[in-house]
Amino acid sequence: MQFEKTNFAGLFIIKPNVLGDCRGWFMRTFSTDLFKKEITNFNSTWVQINHSFNEKKGTWRGFHFQNTPFQETKLIRCISGSVLDFALDLREGSKTFLKVFSVEISQKNKVMIYIPKGFAHGFLTLEDNSELIYMHDEYYHQESELGIRYNDPLLSINIQPLIISARDQNHKLLSNNFKGI
């Protein structure tokens, strides 16, 4: 696996090594030892795996996160189709606070994104029938779940979703006093 640092502390793009032959291909998508070697202070234990199916191109999901003390680290992989994946830095005092990182992840490129605690996550489908697998190091905690609108004026995101849930469309806007989580 190749771990690529980003301009966002703790956020990585991970490119698995794909080994192919006449049977097809094989790749490792996680190894605790390798993650501990490549990611400073990696101590996640995956406790929940979620699977998202999105029927139509142009579907938006996000920005979702869990508040303290239920913040999550996520490892995200696209297993069908493709998405533009977004990580929004909400970490108080971070030099990339309220900045957005995006990367295309797809069934073809097999790229994964490792998002540490303190980020909100969202994605826009680029193809019909796109599916994601998410590994989480924290259980879902409904009372701590929050969201931020993709078109919040404090963010710089230029997308126009075709399909969005009422919940995601109605997240509260950030205030100028928002200091992070």
Q: Which CATH number do you get for residue 55?
A: 2.60.120.10
180 domain residue, yes or no? no
Assess if residue 13 is contained within a domain: no
Residue 79 is assigned to a structural domain of this protein: yes
Confirm whether 51 is a catalytic residue: no
In a domain? residue 151 = yes
- Which of these is catalytic: 114, 121, 134, 171? 134
Asked if residue 147 is part of any domain, the answer here is yes
Task: Specify the number of domains making up the chain.
Answer: 1
Residue with tokens 């919040």: 152
Q: Collapsing DSSP states into helix, strand and coil, what is residue 114? A: strand
- Tens-digit pLDDT profile for the chain (181 aa)? 999 999 999 999 999 999 999 999 999 999 999 999 999 999 999 999 999 999 999 999 999 999 999 999 999 999 999 999 999 999 999 999 999 999 999 999 999 999 999 999 999 999 999 999 999 999 999 999 999 999 999 998 999 999 999 999 999 899 989 999 9
Per residue in 52-62, pLDDT (tens digit) is 999 999 999 99
Domain containing residue 124: 45-169
pTM for the whole structure: 0.95
77 found inside a domain: yes
Mean pLDDT (the chain) is 96
169-177 long-range contacts (CB < 8 A, ≥24 apart) are 171/63, 171/146, 171/147, 172/148, 173/149, 174/98, 174/148
Tokens 């029938």, located at residue: 129
Each residue's pLDDT tens digit, 115-153? 999 999 999 999 999 999 999 999 999 999 999 999 999
Residue 10 counted as domain residue: no
